[in-house]
Chains A and B, each alone.
Chain A
């Protein structure tokens, strides 16, 4: 089954404690992206990757890091989380052919930073 898998689904942690949210896709997609969803703001792009070792900032990249060492994986790293990063996070992937192919989304990770 084609899917995007995120882990963990839920995490409560404290300010400053480094965390990683993993994302894996099994569709051999080139493009992967991270979004955060906040009430009244919709989804905003954090970082994206066009292919292995190619990453770039989205609209709200401050406080986040990513890496793309393998095609299927695109982890999101919060080196020093702060309460304003409490949010619902989604990973997504698509073919990357810039021809209007839809993005496939994971089920989300709800992060609470105390």
Chain B
């Protein structure tokens, strides 16, 4: 069965600093990978996805993620944090040929002014 591990349930960074949110998956075959963001009192919004093209994926709001098969990782980064980035971030995986999404437990990002 697919599983996703997000290291760090809470991450705090200073405004302007690098954002790094970690995601590792378990799968024998490279899956589809997604990052979603959840702002307070809202649903989940897609940030970016990896389906098998370029391993470095660019998303909205300046975020990007790199798929590393050897490390079974799909970490999310942003070079310079903004106050508006404060939210909860979820990594999710789906097996190829399957619509089911399996989510990590989420990382709450706090931005320090």
Contact = CB atoms under 8 A, between A and B. Distances in A.
A45 B105 contact: no
A35 B99 CA distance: 14
Contacts of A94: 99
A102 B43 contact: no
A90 B43 contact: yes
Interface in B83-100: 90, 92, 94, 96-100
Contact of B99 (A31, A40, A44, A108): A31
Nearest to A98: B97
Interface residues of A, number: 27
Contacts, number: 59
Interface residues on B, range: 20 to 34
A74 B32 CA distance: 25
Give the interface SS of chain A, mostly helix, strand, loop or mixed.
Answer: strand
Contacts of B103: 35, 42-44
Contact of A42 (B45, B46, B52, B104): B104
Interface in A31-80: 31, 33, 35, 40-45, 48, 50, 58
A82 interface: no
Contacts of B51: 99-100
A32 to B, nearest CB: 10
Interface of B: 9, 32, 34, 36, 41-46, 49, 51-52, 90, 92, 94, 96-101, 103-106
Interface of A: 4, 31, 33, 35, 40-45, 48, 50, 58, 90, 92, 94, 96, 98-100, 102-108
